[in-house]
Amino acid sequence: MSWDVWGHEWAEALLKKHIAGGLTRHAYLFTGAPGIGRRTLALAFIKALYCQDPPEPGEFCGSCRNCKQLSKLQHTDLFIGQSAGQGETLKIDTVREIQHNLNMQPYAAPWRTALFLRFEEANINAQNALLKTLEEPTPLSKLMLTASNENALLPTISSRCEVIRLRPMALNELADRLESSRMMLRSDALRLAHMSAGRPGYALRLADDPDEADRIVSIASDGVELLSADTLQRFAYAAAFKDVKKRPVLREILQVWQSLFRDLLLLSASGQEADPPISFLELKDELEKLAAKGDPEVFRKTLSEINRMITYLNANANLQLLAENLLLNLPNL
Ligand SMILES: [Zn+2]
C-alpha cells in the first residue's frame, strides 16, 4: 500500500479501484471516531485524484506541484470547511461560501474538491444547504465529508454519498507500526496503541508529543482519585468550571473519563482475561482493584451519564452545574 495511510487497507484499495476504473463518485463520506484517520485518508485520495505524475493509476507521486500543495493544504482547487473548533457549530455561511467556489472551473486539477470536516457539527440549515450540491452536483466538483458516524447526519445526505466506514486498527498491529516507524520501545508503542484505542491518527499525535500522553493519563488519574473522594472534594473539583471558558477543558475531561469508565466496565465484565484492550495500561493495577469493588451495571450507568453530559455540554448548558451533577453521581469506591 503506497498511500502511507495506517490501517484501512480495504478502503485504500477500494478508492484506488475507483480512480483506476474512472468510477469515482461525486461524494464520499468518511466515518469513524476522531483520530482514526478520516481526514488523512480523504487527503490521500484527493492527492491520487490530482497528481500530475502518478506512478500508476490510483497512486500519487508526492513530488509534483499538486501533491506538494495538497500536503500543505494549500491547493487552489481544495476548499476545507469546518467549525471554529471541536464541539462548535459549522454554519450555513461556511457551506455557502464553499459552494460558490465549487461552482467555478478548476484551475490546476481535474476537479474542485470541497472537504467538510466533522460534518456532524453542521446545523440543520447548513446540512440542508449542502443537500443542493449533492442533488445537483456541478460536473467538475467532488465532495468529501468526514463525520463520527453517518447517523449523525441527515439521511438524505449520507444516502447520496459513498460511505467509507473506518474502524480502529488491531492494537498489536498499530503498536508494530509505531515501533518500526518511530523507533519506539515495544512497551511505549503498546501504551499509545491502547491509549488511542487503535486510532492511528491519535496515536501518532501522542507519539509526536509525549507530554500530551502524560497529561491525558493524569486526567484519568484524577478521575480514579475522585472515585474515593468525599462530597466536599468533589464540589471543590467542580468549582473549577465556573468560567464558561472552561468548556473545552471539561469536554476533554469527559472524553478521558469515557475511556476510563470503559476500562472499568471492561475489567469488571471480562474477569481475568489475560490482555484486555483497556486504554490506560499504566493504571491497570489500580483499575483492576476498582473494577473488583464495583459492579458492571454501575460502570455502564456512569458511562452513559458521561455520554449524556457531553451532549449537554455541546448544547451550552451551565458548566458548573453539569460538573457538580456528574461528580455527585460518580460511584463511591
Ligand atoms: Zn503528484
Spacing, Cα 43 to ligand 1 middle (Å): 12
Does one domain contain both 117 and 28?
yes
Structural domain range at position 262: 209-328
Q: Count of alpha carbons within 13 Å of 85, Cβ hemisphere only?
A: 6
Residue 157 maps to a domain? yes
Spacing, Cα 55 to ligand 1 middle (Å): 9
Domain CATH code at residue 152: 3.40.50.300
How far apart CA 287 and CA 86 sit, in angstroms, is: 29
Does one domain contain both 88 and 32?
yes
User: Please, which pLDDT band fits residue 287 given cuts at 50, 70 and 90?
Assistant: very high
Q: Can you give the length of the chain in residues?
A: 333
Residue 232 maps to a domain? yes
Assess contact for 114 and 81: CB atoms under 8 A: yes
Residue 199 maps to a domain? no
Does one domain contain both 69 and 123?
yes
Q: Rounded to 5 degrees, what are φ and ψ at 75?
A: -100, 140
Give the pLDDT mean for 44-53.
Answer: 97
pLDDT digits (tens, 9 = 90+) for 158-171: 999 999 999 999 99
Spacing, Cα 179 to ligand 1 middle (Å): 29
C-alpha cell at 73: 493544504
Q: Which amino acid is at 5?
A: V
pLDDT digits (tens, 9 = 90+) for 187-244: 999 999 999 999 999 999 999 998 999 999 999 999 999 999 999 999 999 888 888 7
- The total number of structural domains in the chain stands at 2
Does one domain contain both 218 and 145?
no
Does one domain contain both 266 and 134?
no
CA distances from 288 to 218, 255, 269, 273 (A): 17, 20, 11, 11
Residue 63 maps to a domain? yes
C-alpha cell at 35: 483520530
Spacing, Cα 65 to ligand 1 middle (Å): 7
Does one domain contain both 309 and 251?
yes
Residue 218 maps to a domain? yes
Compute the mean pLDDT over every residue in the chain, rounded to the nearest whole number: 93
Angle at 270 (CA atoms; ends 264, 273), nearest 5 degrees: 110
